[in-house]
Amino acid sequence: MFRKAALTSLVKPLAALLALGLAVAAGPAQALSRIKDLASVEGVRSNQILGYGIVVGLNGTGDTLNNAPFTKQSLTAMLERLGVNTRGANMRTANVAAVMVTANLPPFATQGTRLDVTVSALGDAKSLQGGTLLVTPLLGADGEVYAVSQGPVAIAGFSAEGDASKITRGVPTVGRIANGGLIEREIEFALNKLKTLRLALRNPDFTTARRMAAAINDFLGADAAEPTDPSTVALQIPPRFQGNMIRMLTDIEQLRIEPDQLARIVIDERSGIIVMGKDVRVSTVAVAQGNLTVTITEQPQVSQPGPLSDGQTVVTPRTNVKVDTGGGNKLAVVRDSVTLAELVDGLNALGIGPRDLISILQAIKASGALQAEIEVM
């Protein structure tokens, strides 16, 4: 009996300690982020390509050739290449539209791979619905052709009109061709031949860069990574990974660290949006908010003369003026080093809206009581 009771008394504390250990182990893991989500490999990026083309087959919603001379010139040049001479002819077709074709060339894209392209009207076309893009070369910043595109254009918007009304949903002059581009040239990037690799942080920060380098060094077992600035971590490729960069990157990008960031408040005054970071702190400060509101209401009255009198009907003005000085609002104290939740609760207790909250935060910052950076978009 004694052994059984003693065993039972030991199992409960051990179970409690185990549960606490699991909670402690699981807690920080939720705040950790993969290096894959915090940084990108320098040089591994997409490239923008664009081209000028023609969309045909529109149902009378294309460019007006008299108003878009570039469309007329392009149509004439295209027909000449096909053996049709239209120079000097008066063309009035409204089924053609000049467009700009844009796309992103993915990194390591191989020849023959397809990609999506976006088609945007260049002239006064009303809609690209039902149109087909003719073969259009897509050029890079160096002027070289990296892809060609062709195919039916799919749009998300539409436009309809009658004699007295018109309705437009979305943007009918912009469309997309899924897999409409065909890559003709590859961009060379010998990743496996690199001796040094650079990781570019998406949100530059000294602390985050140092933690990232420390996590990589712990994994590799050598001082191979070093932060060179807040946005870059330089990595010397260990001998065992030279020639096999992919294996090293797939292991490194899964490492987890806790990113750090400046205490920042982002304000968009146009829409009244306020975003606060978790590290925002406020020293002890008293805040009061009140507005002077003047309301003027006009209630004119009609004064009519008596029966059989020689008077005239006149309008007598009646004006009511009401002044609200915000006397019901009181001074509130925000305590020292409050958390973000406590700060939000304290400001909400004042009963103010986002517009007034923006002014209050800027005033607290001006007083020196706000330990955060305010960024106005």
In a domain, 4, yes or no: no
Write out pLDDT tens, residues 41-88.
Answer: 988 889 999 999 999 999 888 999 888 889 888 888 888 888 888 887
Closest CA to 220 of 259, 248, 192: 248
Question: Is the same domain home to 245 and 133?
Answer: no
Confidence check: pLDDT of 341 > 80: no
Residues 6+ apart with CB under 8 A from 275: 265, 266
Burial of 278 (0-12, 13-18, 19+ CB in 10 A): exposed
232 is in which domain, residue-wise?
190-257
Residue 102 backbone phi and psi in degrees, to 5 = -125, 155
What's the confidence (pLDDT) of residue 158? 67
Burial string for 9-34 (b: 16+ CB within 10 Å, else e) reads eeeeeeeeeeeeeeeeeeeeeeeeee
CA distance 241 to 192: 9
In a domain, 24, yes or no: no
Indicate the pairing of strand 281-282 with strand 97-105: unpaired
Structure tokens at 224: 């191979």
Question: Is the same domain home to 111 and 198?
Answer: no
Question: Is the same domain home to 55 and 172?
Answer: yes
CA distance 63 to 93: 8
Confidence check: pLDDT of 90 > 50: yes
**Residue 273 pLDDT grade (very low, low, confident, very high; cuts 50, 70, 90):** confident
**Least confident among 97-101, 146-150, 334-338:** 334-338
Confidence check: pLDDT of 23 > 50: no
Structure tokens at 190: 């010998």
Tokens 């909400």 belong to residue: 348
Write out pLDDT tens, residues 289-331.
Answer: 665 444 556 567 777 776 766 667 776 767 665 655 555 555 5
Please check whether residue 335 is in contact with residue 284, taking contact to mean a CB–CB distance below 8 angstroms.
Answer: yes
Among 183, 206, 226, residue at a domain's last position: 183
What's the confidence (pLDDT) of residue 367? 81
- Mean local confidence (pLDDT), 176-195: 89
Among 219, 241, 257, residue at a domain's last position: 257
- Mean local confidence (pLDDT), 327-337: 56
Among 183, 204, 222, residue at a domain's last position: 183
Please check whether residue 125 is in contact with residue 71, taking contact to mean a CB–CB distance below 8 angstroms.
Answer: no
pTM value? 0.66
In a domain, 61, yes or no: yes
Strand order in the sheet with 39-41: 39-41, 196-201, 232-236, 225-229
Confidence check: pLDDT of 285 > 80: no
Question: Is the same domain home to 245 and 178?
Answer: no
Closest CA to 261 of 226, 225, 230, 228: 230
Burial string for 296-332 (b: 16+ CB within 10 Å, else e) reads eeeeeeeeeeeeeeeeeeeeeeeeeeeeeeeeeeeee
Question: Is the same domain home to 150 and 56?
Answer: yes
